[in-house]
């Protein structure tokens, strides 16, 4: 566990580890020596040899000073390692989370990730700052005393040294049941965190559907599971702790008994016997301290494992050299993909979007349209085949280069609780204020800003809660306009906007897609009809492809799609050839 914890220390603090270990070792050995020196000191005093007693006292004082200095340095270095680890691991976890495929996140709750990143890391800092010294001295001091006592009475020294692995074995056995109980506690705590998070963020939905009571009950049962898991942890640790405490006491009693018997037999002088009994108690003390922190140590050990597990999750690797696309075309080449193993969502999908043209993807709900956009943005890696930009597999481009090529404008717009300006600037952090304002003007975000109480300085609330759905879309279009990437991946909004918002969003999108390579998951007939190419997908496969005129003139899924949209809107779309391309 100690080795795995040290692996988390950042490179610029690794050189402190040997100093810390040496300081801790000296601290432990000096303490052991100071205790053993008590025996010759007592013997000299009992013999009335004040000269020898003075010498032993001086040696003992020297050793105590060494122990104090080493203790100071081990505390200082432990703290430096802990703080360094906190900084290093936080950065490593942050970078690592940013490089994980999105699929990794969908298998976990935000709460369980937060627990590892915050609570587990704190646990490990505590380990470096306090626990490590107790652990090392808990081993070094008894061994040191045992070896020292060998020179005074080898039988007693052997009892001490043999008892140590016995106590360690009992401690190890005690830890077994604790570990699984701690994992259950961690999982139940994350479940409670997730429940509280959901309960608070989903209040509007819960109230709208009268489900507050039901979710409250779900939260209560999560809390009950957490209480049971806490009880389980206590139940799992108490027998182990009790067994360990009993074994430690048995060892102490055995040592005192042996000293008493051998002293009675005349093997030791009274002074040596008193000294050995005092030393026996000092032999037990660090072991008892070790037992007292064993619960914290095991918790830290579990935390170290969880942080390592998180860091071991395979990242979306950037290629050693990022390939350069020859143009802004986009193609799907026999692409297959599933979110879960064995469930195919895209199956051998092939089509090409020539540079500067618009392709609309249509198909029934759940047929895999949005998934194709996510694969093009490499939010998930394809299982088979390749998505290519300008002839280059997106997997052979660095994430940075790929993101410079594509602008995803998806339905679920995520806004950070910052100002509108900061939210737009995410599109291009080094953009000038003028560029930001220009993008905002084209997407009609300046209209929103004028209405806000603090204008550009207004915070948009958590996830942009202070803005309407249409307003959030406008901000996301402004972001993409500012980014000005040559390929736009657009998931057209399904929800109806009011006429004004609809008009400004359509205008913003037209500006955004002007002259760009566009792949749009289209829900509106007007968007589809104006596309250069329409790709019809069903159940993850491409079932038809062509222009609106070609597809509408023949029977098939597309004709069904058009008829369905006509019926939904209560109007018919006149089929006419698309001579010139226009944005969606
Ligand atoms: N993150 C995810 N994890 C697991 N399955 C997913 C995930 N996202 C989508 N799916 C599943 O993949 C399938 C295709 O989803 P996708 O969102 O691509 O369909 P779509 O055609 O865009 O649907 P819609 O038109 O309703 O938005 C669906 O069965 C969906 O349940």
| Residue ranges per structural domain of the chain | 2-312, 346-569
- Give the residue whose CA is nearest to atom 23 of ligand 1: 366
Measured in angstroms, how far is the CA atom of residue 361 from the centroid of ligand 1? Answer: 14
Give residue for tokens 């202070």.
466
Is there an atom of ligand 1 within 6 Å of 391 CB?
no
Closest among 516, 489, 493 to 406, alpha carbons compared: 489
* Mutate-to-test residue for ligand 1 from 102, 344, 345, 377, highest number of ligand atoms within 8 A of CB: 345
Per-residue model confidence (pLDDT) at position 581: 41
Ligand 1 atom closest to the Cα of residue 537 is: 21
Query: Which residue CA neighbors atom 18 of ligand 1 most closely?
Result: 368
| Contact indicator for 376, 394 with CB cutoff of 8 Å | yes
pLDDT value for 575: 45
DSSP 458: -
Residue 316 host element (H or E): none
Could you tell me which CATH class the domain 346-569 is placed in? alpha beta
Centre of ligand 1 to C-alpha 493, Å, is 15
Q: At 172, phi and psi to the nearest 5? A: -65, -45
Does the CB atom of residue 366 touch ligand 1 within 6 A? yes
Ligand 1 within 6 A of CB of 358: no
Which atom of ligand 1 lies nearest, measured to the CA of 103?
1
Strand-by-strand arrangement of the 487-491 sheet: 406-409, 487-491, 517-521, 358-362, 533-538, 541-546
Atom of ligand 1 nearest to the CA of 106: 1
Collect all residues with Cβ–Cβ distance below 8 Å to 391 and sequence separation of at least 6.
325, 326, 327, 329
Give the residue, by CA position, lying nearest to ligand 1 atom 14: 368
CATH superfamily of domain region 2-312 = ABC transporter type 1, transmembrane domain (1.20.1560.10)
User: If 0-12 CB within 10 Å is exposed, 13-18 middle and 19+ buried, where does residue 141 land?
Assistant: buried
B/e letters for 20-43, b = 16+ CB within 10 Å, e = fewer, are: bbebbbbbbbbbbbbbbbbbbbbb
Beta carbon of 494 within 6 Å of any ligand 1 atom: no
Flag whether the ipTM exceeds 0.95: yes
Evaluate if pTM is beyond 0.80: no
Q: Is 523 in the pocket of ligand 1 (CB under 6 A)?
A: no
Going by CA atoms, what residue is nearest to atom 5 of ligand 1?
339
Residue 407's DSSP bridge partners are 488
Interval between CA 246 and ligand 1 midpoint (Å): 59
- 369: CA distance to ligand 1 center in Å? 8
> In this predicted structure, what is the pLDDT of residue 580?
40
Q: What is the pLDDT of residues 510-560, one digit of tens each?
A: 877 788 898 988 777 777 778 889 899 988 899 888 888 888 777 777 777
C-alpha 307, offset from chain centre: 8
Give distance in angstroms: CA of 494 to centre of ligand 1: 14
277-309 per-position pLDDT tens digit: 989 988 988 888 887 787 788 888 888 988 998
For residues 346 and 543, the answer to whether their CB atoms sit within 8 Å is no
Residue 155: what pLDDT? 92
Q: Distance from the CA of 347 to the center of ligand 1, in angstroms?
A: 14
How far, in Å, is the centroid of ligand 1 from the Cα of 540?
10
Residue ID of nearest Cα to ligand 1 atom 2: 339
Can you tell me which atom of ligand 1 is nearest the CA of 521?
Answer: 22
Question: Cα-Cα-Cα-Cα dihedral of 49, 51, 54, 59, to 10°?
Answer: -100
Q: Is the CB of 106 under 6 A from ligand 1?
A: yes
Question: Among the atoms of ligand 1, which is closest to the Cα of residue 363?
Answer: 21
User: Could you tell me if the CB of 374 is within 6 A of ligand 1?
Assistant: no
Q: List the residue whose alpha carbon is closest to atom 26 of ligand 1.
A: 365
pLDDT at residue 574 in the model: 45
Residue with CA at minimum distance from ligand 1 atom 4: 339
The residue contributing the CA closest to ligand 1 atom 10 is 339
Looking at residue 496, its pLDDT comes to: 57
d(CA 272, ligand 1 centre) in Å: 80
Q: How far is CA 176 from CA 180, 246, 583, in A?
A: 7, 18, 64
What tens-digit pLDDT sequence spans the chain (584 residues)?
Answer: 788 888 888 888 889 989 988 998 899 899 889 988 988 898 888 888 888 889 999 999 999 999 999 999 988 888 888 888 888 888 888 888 878 877 777 666 777 788 788 888 888 888 888 888 888 888 888 999 999 999 988 999 999 999 999 888 887 777 777 777 877 887 888 788 878 877 777 776 777 666 677 777 888 888 888 899 888 888 877 887 788 888 888 999 999 999 999 989 888 888 888 889 989 988 988 888 887 787 788 888 888 988 998 898 888 777 778 888 888 899 999 999 998 888 899 999 999 999 889 898 988 888 899 999 999 988 888 899 999 999 899 989 888 888 888 988 887 777 887 888 888 888 778 888 888 888 888 888 888 888 877 888 888 777 767 777 778 888 888 888 888 889 989 887 655 566 776 777 777 778 777 888 989 887 777 777 788 898 999 888 998 888 888 887 777 777 777 777 666 554 444 444 444 444 44
Task: Tell whether ligand 1 has an atom less than 6 A from the beta carbon of residue 540.
Answer: no
371 lines ligand 1 (CB under 6 A): yes
């Amino acid at each position: 566990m100690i080795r795995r914890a040290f692996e988390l220390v950042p490179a610029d603090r690794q050189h402190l580890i040997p100093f810390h270990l040496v300081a801790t070792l000296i601290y432990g050995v000096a303490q052991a020596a100071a205790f053993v020196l008590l025996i010759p000191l007592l013997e000299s005093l009992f013999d009335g040899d004040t000269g020898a007693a003075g010498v032993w006292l001086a040696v003992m004082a020297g050793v105590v000073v060494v122990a104090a200095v080493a203790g100071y340095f081990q505390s200082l270095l432990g703290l430096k390692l802990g703080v360094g680890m906190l900084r290093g691991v936080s950065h490593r976890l942050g970078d690592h989370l940013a490089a994980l495929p999105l699929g990794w996140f969908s298998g976990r709750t935000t709460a369980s990730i937060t627990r590892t990143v915050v609570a587990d890391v704190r646990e490990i800092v505590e380990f470096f700052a306090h626990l490590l010294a107790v652990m090392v001295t808990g081993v070094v001091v008894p061994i040191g005393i045992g070896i020292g006592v060998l020179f005074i009475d080898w039988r007693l020294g052997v009892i001490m040294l043999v008892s140590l692995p016995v106590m360690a074995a009992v401690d190890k056995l005690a830890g077994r049941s604790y570990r699984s109980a701690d994992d259950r506690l961690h999982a139940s705590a994350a479940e409670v965190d997730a429940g509280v998070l959901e309960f608070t963020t989903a209040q509007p939905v819960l109230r709208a559907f009268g489900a507050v009571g039901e979710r409250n009950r779900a939260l209560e049962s999560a809390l009950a599971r957490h209480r049971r898991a806490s009880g389980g942890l206590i139940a799992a640790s108490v027998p182990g702790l009790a067994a360990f405490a009993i074994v430690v006491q048995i060892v102490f009693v055995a040592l005192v008994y042996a000293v008493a018997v051998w002293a009675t037999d005349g093997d030791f002088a009274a002074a040596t016997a008193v000294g050995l009994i005092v030393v026996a108690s000092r032999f037990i003390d660090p072991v008892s301290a070790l037992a007292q922190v064993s619960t914290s140590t095991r918790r830290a050990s579990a935390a170290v494992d969880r942080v390592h597990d998180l860091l071991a999750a395979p990242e979306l690797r950037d290629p050693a050299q990022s390939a350069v696309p020859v143009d802004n075309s986009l193609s799907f080449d026999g692409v297959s993909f599933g979110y879960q193993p064995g469930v195919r969502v895209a199956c051998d999908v092939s089509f090409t979007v020539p540079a500067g043209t618009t392709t609309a993807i249509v198909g029934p709900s759940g047929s895999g349209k949005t998934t194709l956009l996510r694969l093009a943005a490499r939010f998930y890696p394809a299982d088979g085949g390749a998505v290519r930009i300008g002839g280059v597999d997106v997997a052979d481009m660095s994430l940075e280069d790929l993101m410079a090529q594509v602008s995803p404008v998806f339905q679920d717009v995520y806004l950070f609780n910052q100002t509108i300006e900061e939210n737009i600037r995410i599109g291009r952090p080094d953009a000038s204020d003028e560029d930001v304002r220009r993008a905002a003007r084209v997407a009609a975000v300046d209209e929103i800003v004028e209405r806000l109480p603090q204008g550009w300085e207004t915070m948009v609330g958590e996830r942009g809660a202070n803005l309407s759905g249409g307003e959030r879309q406008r901000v996301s279009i402004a972001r993409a306009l500012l980014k000005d990437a040559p390929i736009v991946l657009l998931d057209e909004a399904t929800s109806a906007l009011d006429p004004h918002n609809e008009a400004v969003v359509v205008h913003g999108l037209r500006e955004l897609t002007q002259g760009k390579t566009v792949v749009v998951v289209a829900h509106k007939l007007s968007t589809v009809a104006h596309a250069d190419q329409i790709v019809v997908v069903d159940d993850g496969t491409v079932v038809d492809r062509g222009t609106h005129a070609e597809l509408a003139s023949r029977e098939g899924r597309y004709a069904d799609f058009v008829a369905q949209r006509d019926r939904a809107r209560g109007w018919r779309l006149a089929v006419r050839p698309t001579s010139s391309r226009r944005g969606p």
